[in-house]
């Protein structure tokens, strides 16, 4: 039984989020939550929130045990980029690209 949770339009780029996502791929859900709690990256908080949502979906909607869940798929895709202008020297402007990402977590039940 696959259970999914998605967080869209996060304020962090997909490249920075993938550094956190790659650390927890394939781990038990509770172990991944403990690991994310002590990571210094801002993306770790958002990934942890998405993981908690996926665990809650599994226990409430499907009646699965949270101890049996593991992260089968987790990925961070690019979301729309906001483009801002900052004015530079000699009448030029410098574009600022504010990147965002979509985080998807799919949990599966590990049968012992």
3-state secondary structure string across the chain? CCEEEEEEEECCCHHHHHHHHHHHCCCEHHHHHHHHHCCCCHHHHHHHHHHHHHHHHHHHHCCCCHHHEEEEEEEEEECCCEEEEEECHHHCEEEEEECCEEEEEEEEECCC
Question: Which CATH code for domain 3-109?
Answer: 3.90.470.10
Tens digit of pLDDT at every position of the chain (112 positions): 899 999 999 999 999 999 999 999 999 999 999 999 999 999 999 999 999 999 999 999 999 999 999 999 999 999 999 999 888 899 898 999 999 999 999 999 988 6
Q: Report the pLDDT value the prediction gives residue 15, as an integer from 0 to 100.
A: 97
Does the pTM surpass 0.85? The reply is yes
């Amino acid at each position: 039984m696959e259970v999914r949770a998605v967080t869209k339009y996060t304020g962090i780029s997909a490249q920075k989020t993938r550094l956190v996502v790659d650390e927890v791929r394939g781990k038990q859900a509770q172990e991944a939550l403990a690991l994310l709690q002590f990571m210094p990256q801002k993306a770790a908080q958002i990934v942890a929130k998405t993981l908690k949502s996926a665990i809650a979906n599994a226990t409430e909607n499907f009646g699965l045990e949270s101890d049996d869940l593991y992260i089968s798929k987790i990925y961070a895709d690019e979301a729309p980029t906001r483009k801002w202008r900052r004015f530079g020297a000699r009448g030029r402007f410098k574009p600022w690209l504010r990147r965002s990402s979509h985080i998807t977590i799919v949990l599966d039940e590990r049968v012992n």
